Amino acid sequence: SNEPNSLVSDACVSYATLESINSEIRPAIQYLTNHVDFFTYYRLDLYGRECPFWSDDAGFCANRACAVELTDENDIPESWRSSELGKLEGPKASQPSPEVRKEEPSPFKGELGEDTAESCVFEPAEGDKRDYCVPEDEGNGNNCVYVSLLDNPERFTGYAGQSANNVWKAVYQENCFNTQAQAQAQKQSTNSQPFGAFGAGMPKAPVAADPNAAADLKNVMDRRKHEVVQKNLISPPPEEQCLEKRVFYKVVSGMHASISMHLCYDFFNQTTGEWGPNLQCYKSRLHNFPDRIQNMYFNYAILLRAISKLRKNLPQYTFCAGDKRTNEFTRKKLAALTDSIASHPSVFDESVMFRDENAAVLKEDFRTRFRNVSRLMDCVGCDKCRLWGKLQTSGYGTAMKILFEYDENEEGGNKNPVLRRTELVALVNTLGRLSNSLHAFTRFGAMIERERVIE
Ligand code: FAD
């Protein structure tokens, strides 16, 4: 098991320290995720995208617990509504060309002007090549919906079986990194992207940017479906694998562990009709798997580090254009969190990653693979699970973008990648999920201890 004072492997912090940081900052995280409007509404394409990997009509979950309640746009602060964005002739139409954009102040500085309805939803037309996820509210967002995260808590839904299993398997398959040579070859071939475990030896598979490409991709993926189901590739990478590959595995396994923790902690007891912790669920999925718990702590460490990197840039960020009071309030609350994280020694050192001579190829591969994990969320057959799966992959993607692409000392410059509103919302809520998971882990531990004493 994981000793409290031992270090979380590949991070520079102990379990005990992460727990004490969590006790300290949990109130600030809970305040942000429960009481600050900016962070409680998420905008995403929940229904509009087909699973690009296989067709899975049988996998849909019809339980009531799987359904998501949508939020009426009229209940959303005006400046965040897509109809408001419409006033700018649609965000795409008003998108400055990349050349023009270079001369403008960084959108992260929020200086698009007071008239801009939502400067925080500034969309790069094609996404940024430094993105680790497919942007959630891409384009003019016709398919996007607003969801209140408070009305749709992540908890037990009953979604399970082949469909859920296929998604997890495919997620772990992305961890089969190409050999360097394959990656190089794929990089050089135009119009093709390495496509995860599906990619090796496959016909060119353009990323699904337009409907035809999506159809091509789907055909290719349908042919591979058989293999996805057959091979059980859910095994951790061997220890000798390089740091970057280990980190990739830890991120997905830690996310999986955190999701399991939530569904066990907020479980539906069919006998009593009540929601609450289910110790048996915890025991069978997490208690006997210290590596899963360790990966969850690892994820908490990288999220802390990523959020603290934003600290110096927050003063310039516009959270809610046109509403100074809300803007200042949101900034102050987020700054309280980043300041208290920054008062501790750094818990993760991202500068040791992507350093050797193959770094550029490896990083591109890593990024592409994580984008594929984010696409896989469209294959999740339960709305509420899809919502939280999308939010959390976006949260980790944003964390990695900040860790690997963002210069925390670049205070006023244009070099840092844009952070969309959805990315910030996902980032903070993903930290919130992990914070709850650490808390639930302690509570389950106490329940097990009590059980032992009674015996
Ligand atoms: P699963 O959790 O499906 O795991 C499959 C296999 O993966 C296991 O047998 C094990 O070999 C391996 N494994 C498990 N955990 C880890 C880990 N941490 N690291 C490495 N390997 C691991 N259900 C809900 O009730 N509520 C939700 O909100 C929810 N969200 C989901 C989101 C996504 C993206 C997905 C794909 C599924 C979600 N589910 C949710 C379903 C849930 O995750 C399980 O798939 C389901 O409960 C069935 O569990 P299982 O015991 O078969 O194992």
ipTM summary value: 0.99
Q: Is the CB of 253 under 6 A from ligand 1?
A: yes
Q: Indicate which residue of 51, 66, 144, 382 is catalytic.
A: 382
> Which of 51, 261, 60 has its CA nearest to residue 163?
60
Residue of minimum CA distance from atom 2 in ligand 1: 260
Q: Is residue 107 predicted with pLDDT exceeding 60?
A: no
Cα separation, 43 vs 79, whole angstroms: 13
pLDDT of residue 13: 87
CA of 168 to the centre of ligand 1 (A): 7
**1 or 398, greater pLDDT:** 398
Check pLDDT > 60 for residue 430: yes
pLDDT tens digits, residue range 138-173? 544 557 778 889 988 899 888 888 889 999 999 998
Residue with CA closest to ligand 1 atom 30: 385
pLDDT at 97 > cutoff 70: no
In sequence order, the 6+-apart residues with CB closer than 8 A to the CB of 194 are 178, 182, 183, 186, 187, 364, 365, 368, 369
Q: Whose CA is nearest to atom 46 of ligand 1?
A: 160
Nearest to 388 by CA among 248, 252, 255, 254: 255
For residue range 174-222, what is the model confidence (pLDDT) as tens digits? 876 654 434 444 444 333 332 233 222 222 232 333 334 334 334 433 4
Q: For the chain, what percent of residues have pLDDT higher than 90? A: 35
The mean of the pLDDT values for the chain is 74
Q: Which residues of 382-404 are buried (b: 16+ CB within 10 A; e: fewer)?
A: bbbbbbbbbbbbbbbbbbbbbbb
Predicted local distance difference test score (pLDDT) of residue 424: 92
Facing residues of 50 across strands?
none
Calculate how far, in angstroms, residue 164's C-alpha sits from the geometric centre of ligand 1. 7
242 counts as catalytic:
no
Residue 276: which H helix or E strand, with range?
strand 274-276
Please give the distance, rounded to the nearest whole angstrom, from the Cα atom of residue 256 to the centre of ligand 1: 6
Q: How far is the centre of ligand 1, averaged over its atoms, from the C-alpha of 259 (Å)?
A: 7
**Is the model's pLDDT at 28 over the cut of 80?**
yes
Q: Which atom of ligand 1 is nearest to the CA of 389?
A: 34
Does residue 256's CB lie within 6 angstroms of at least one atom of ligand 1?
yes
pTM as predicted: 0.79
Determine the distance separating the centroid of ligand 1 and the alpha carbon of 82, expressed in angstroms: 34
Residue nearest atom 44 in ligand 1 by C-alpha distance: 160
Please write the tens of the pLDDT for every residue from 337-350. 999 999 999 999 88
Residue position matching structure tokens 């410059």: 413
- Given a cut of 80, whether residue 223 has pLDDT beyond it is no
Mean pLDDT confidence for 54-68: 64
pLDDT cut 70: percent of the chain above it: 67
- Residue 160 CB–ligand 1 contact under 6 Å: yes
| C-beta atoms surrounding 124 within 10 Å | 18
Q: Does 155 belong to an annotated binding site? A: yes
Residue 371, ligand 1, Cβ within 6 A: no
Determine the pLDDT at residue 388: 95
- Asked whether 263 lines ligand 1 (CB < 6 A), one says yes
Q: 439 alpha carbon to ligand 1 midpoint, in Å?
A: 20
Query: What's the pLDDT score for residue 133?
Result: 73
Q: What pLDDT score does 52 carry?
A: 78
In ligand 1, which atom is closest to the CA atom of 376?
A: 34
Of the listed ranges 39-43, 325-329, 360-364, 412-416, the one predicted with least confidence? 412-416
The CB of 379 under 6 Å from ligand 1? The reply is no
Residue 270: pLDDT band with limits 50, 70, 90: confident
Per the annotation, the verdict on 382 as an active-site residue is yes
Strand-pairing partners, residue 72, are none
- Residue nearest to ligand 1 atom 29, measured at CA: 385
Secondary-structure breakdown of the chain: helix, strand, coil percentages, each rounded to the nearest 5 = 55, 5, 40
> DSSP character for 286?
I
Contact between residue 42 and residue 146 where contact means Cβ atoms under 8 Å apart: yes
Report the pLDDT averaged over residues 306-318. 88
Task: State both tokens at 61.
Answer: 């979950």
385 lines ligand 1 (CB under 6 A): yes
Least confident of 90-94, 392-396, 433-437: 90-94
Residue 396 DSSP symbol: H
Whether residue 65 has its Cβ less than 6 Å from ligand 1: no
Look at ligand 1, atom 20, and give the residue with the nearest C-alpha.
Answer: 253
| d(C-alpha 426, C-alpha 423), whole Å | 5
Rounded mean pLDDT, 231-241: 56
Q: Tell whether 49 is in a known binding site.
A: no
Q: Does 233 sit in the ligand 1 pocket, CB within 6 Å? A: no
